[in-house]
Chains A and B, each alone.
Chain A
Amino acid sequence: MSPAADVGAEVGTELPAQSFPVTRASLVRYAGASGDFNPIHWNERFALEVGLPNVIAHGMFTMAEAVRVVTDWLGDPGRLESYSVRFTRPVPVPDDDTGTVIEVTGKVTELLDEGRAKVMLTATHEGQKILGNAVAVVRLA
């Protein structure tokens, strides 16, 4: 049992949507913090050589951003019981000061036993989905 406040939810409840900026600097910081130094995430010359449109964001960076819609809604991130995604489309990040943006929405799609709920997340970049089957199961109380 979490001392955080109970979260009200029914099927169809929409979680507050959020936009997450991504710049080249974000990717460098994420590389350092995560230990993932694959050059496709910071070296444009290398990314182009292997056929990518540009440097791309780490899939795990996108996954980390998307679940913030859920954990900010819950308050206590420890109420997240499971979280899964498929990485369906890369997020190219231009070499400028503004970078790009990941948009995330979430909706309760099912109430489960023991006060739990299933949330479907939708993450898009320039209007196209970047994650497939993005699902979180949470404890509401």
Chain B
Amino acid sequence: MNKNIINFIVTIILGFILSLFLPWWSVMVAALITSITIPLKKIAVFFVPFLAILVFWAVYCFILSNANDFTLAKRIAQLLQIGGNPYLLILVTGIIGGLAAGFSAIFGKQIITFNKN
């Protein structure tokens, strides 16, 4: 399998497992670990963990919210002034998680590079 795909899958699994013990920044830890253990190259360094956590969070949110007719998601989407659209809120949530993961993966990558030289 392509390293990108492995990193993608492992980041999601690790992100899920760590979230059982750690607060929201568990996804940053997950991305950091996979970026060191399954190193990627170029823009994949950022975008693979970004997409992995985006998908993880968005799917998780969708499952929770869909089961409850998006009742709260609609209200929070209004609260955050994104037009009361629950799907947009799910996307925003995913992007936030993805950004956090992506940046910590870049940091992981720099640690490897630093040690190698």
Question: Is B one of A's binding partners?
Answer: no
Identify the B interface with A (CB < 8 A).
Answer: none
